[in-house]
Structure 1
Amino acid sequence: MNKAEFINRFQHARQVSLEADYPLTRKGRDAAVLIPMLDYDDGLHVILTERAHHLRHHAGQISFPGGGYEPQDASLTDTALREAFEEVGLPPSHVQVIGALPDYRTISGYHIKPVVGFVQPGFEYRIDPNEVASVFDVPLSHLMDKKNHLIHHMTRNQKQFPIYFIPWQERMIWGATAAILRNLAHHLG
């Protein structure tokens, strides 16, 4: 899929079924992630990060650049762009935001806005080692192929919840990141 095909499919008006998120009993902490896409000759790729291994929460997990809303952020889109700049050095001026997916709530108490954007070439990654161990990209075609998606169910408070996994080479994309990618796959239909 190329950039024009993606935009055409992303901007449809039909109702899409979404993966179940975690039903928070109160409003979660506002957060945003950037789903940053690169337009290569072989198709679109998504930039992902491996979280630093010394972090107290979600250490070593694969994630999108992103984090919690801060008072200086004008919007959750600004949160996603600020966090991508802080974590991997992606300048906001190099991102063409085309929209967002529906919010996703996590068991850790976040209410996440997934912002979708295309990245212009010509920037160099500057990884913040306090937050990120590595940055890499994965072909969108692999991430959108539901044959690559695995689902495991866990029980919490006598209710079952799905946990999603997408293997990529020696890495495992799972949890909220995999669920958001599944929602993108449903959206692109």
Structure 2
Amino acid sequence: MNSEHIMARFQLSPITAPNQLKDTRKKRASAVMLPIIDIDNHAHILLCKRPTYLHHHPGEICLPGGKYEQSDIKLRTTALRELKEELNIAPSNVTVLGQLPEYSTLTGFNISPFVGLLNKATTWENDHNEVQASFLLSLSDLSNDANWQPLPFQRFGKTITLQGFATQHGLLWGATASIIKNFTKQLALPV
């Protein structure tokens, strides 16, 4: 699957609510970009690993993104600003295809995920204050359920099972994994 297939499927697929935990606490608005680039005519998602010295989610695998700021016109602006800040990718190198359903985290955030195609010649450079490493994962590997593993854990006295994906930089899990799984499910729908 390449970016042309993604554009056709993503635009024609209905948005479905992600399977997530419900939490009624007030949440802070944030946005992430799910950046896609074709490598050898195959779509890949660009991911980041957070530095281990950060207070929140140290060392975790994530999509570029962050908190909404008052200077942001809308959440799409937040996602593009964070992509620029974290990976030095200018908004002019991104074609935003649309938005996935909002994802509410257990850590107090409502995440608005945006899907963006990166121009083929796009390069990036990590801001080492925010990104320890950046790397690509193929969409075909992420779409293969056999590559995911169940991760049971306890929350509020209940066992909850999330999905995890092993990468060369650590485990992809939590909200980022859920957002990616939701996206790949959308792409699997017949067009």
TM-score (norm 2): 0.91
Aligned mates of 1:2, 1:42 — CA distance in 2: 6
Q: How many aligned residue pairs are there?
A: 188
Indicate if the aligned counterparts of 1:86 and 1:128 stay in contact, CA closer than 8 A: yes
Indicate if the aligned counterparts of 2:86 and 2:130 stay in contact, CA closer than 8 A: yes
- The alpha-carbon distance between structure 1 residues 13 and 140, as it changes in their structure 2 partners (threshold 3 A), is closer
Aligned to 1:77: 76
- Residues 136-171 of structure 1: CA distance to partner in whole angstroms, max 9, x if unpaired? 111111111111112222222233333220112453
- The more displaced of 79-88 and 178-187 is 178-187
Aligned mates of 2:94, 2:162 — CA distance in 1: 30
Aligned mates of 1:18, 1:105 — CA distance in 2: 10
Task: Quote the sequence identity (%).
Answer: 37
- Residues 20-45 of structure 1: CA distance to partner in whole angstroms, max 9, x if unpaired? 2x322223100000000002224001
Task: Tell me the SS of whatever aligns to 2:152.
Answer: strand
Aligned mates of 1:166, 1:30 — CA distance in 2: 26
Aligned mates of 1:160, 1:64 — CA distance in 2: 26
Aligned mates of 1:132, 1:100 — CA distance in 2: 24
Task: Tell me the SS of whatever aligns to 2:12.
Answer: coil
- The alpha-carbon distance between structure 1 residues 156 and 35, as it changes in their structure 2 partners (threshold 3 A), is same
Aligned mates of 1:118, 1:101 — CA distance in 2: 14
Aligned to 2:125: 126
Indicate if the aligned counterparts of 1:33 and 1:80 stay in contact, CA closer than 8 A: yes
Aligned mates of 1:169, 1:89 — CA distance in 2: 22
Aligned to 2:19: 19
- Residues 55-97 of structure 1: CA distance to partner in whole angstroms, max 9, x if unpaired? 0111111100000000011111110000010011010110000
TM-score (norm 1): 0.92
Aligned mates of 1:184, 1:7 — CA distance in 2: 12
Q: CA RMSD in A?
A: 1.6
- The alpha-carbon distance between structure 1 residues 17 and 77, as it changes in their structure 2 partners (threshold 3 A), is closer
Aligned mates of 1:168, 1:147 — CA distance in 2: 14
Task: Tell me the SS of whatever aligns to 2:132.
Answer: strand
Indicate if the aligned counterparts of 2:103 and 2:112 stay in contact, CA closer than 8 A: yes
Aligned mates of 1:169, 1:86 — CA distance in 2: 24
Aligned to 2:182: 183
Indicate if the aligned counterparts of 1:27 and 1:111 stay in contact, CA closer than 8 A: no
Give the drift of 1:126: 2.6
For structure 1, the residue ranges without an aligned partner over 5 or more in a row are: none
Aligned to 1:67: 66
- The more displaced of 6-15 and 141-150 is 6-15
Indicate if the aligned counterparts of 2:93 and 2:119 stay in contact, CA closer than 8 A: yes
- The alpha-carbon distance between structure 1 residues 130 and 116, as it changes in their structure 2 partners (threshold 3 A), is same
- The alpha-carbon distance between structure 1 residues 38 and 24, as it changes in their structure 2 partners (threshold 3 A), is same
